[in-house]
Amino acid sequence: MRKLLLLIAIAGLAALYPGYVRLRQYRREAERLESRAAELRGENADLQSEVDRMHSQDVSTEHAARELGMVRNGEVIYEVVEKPEGEADE
């Protein structure tokens, strides 16, 4: 009788083992995905801050002046050009 119970117990464990392995794999994958989602939420927050900053009037004006060469009425742009090395002073 003991041998029969032991055999049934072993058969039951053998039948459940693949499901247990799969469950552990799913849990590891879920942990990995949760970690990645947290990283992406942080990146999204950083990007949203950047978008908000870019939409502010001051940054837009500064960007237009620096990158596009645009100026307001009455403003004067001075460009400083350095001499190449070795060139004599005049």
DSSP assignment letter at 56: S
Range of the domain at 54: 2-68
Give the torsion through C-alpha atoms of 26, 31, 35, 38, to 10 deg.
Answer: 90
In the block, tokens 């002046």 appear at: 65
The predicted model scores a pTM of 0.49
- Is position 13 within any domain? yes
- Is position 79 within any domain? no
- Is position 81 within any domain? no
- Give the residue with greater pLDDT, 42 vs 90: 42
- Is position 83 within any domain? no
- Is position 85 within any domain? no
pLDDT digits (tens, 9 = 90+) for 11-24: 887 787 788 888 89
Domain count, the chain: 1
Residues 54, 59, 60, CA angle at the centre, nearest 5°?
80
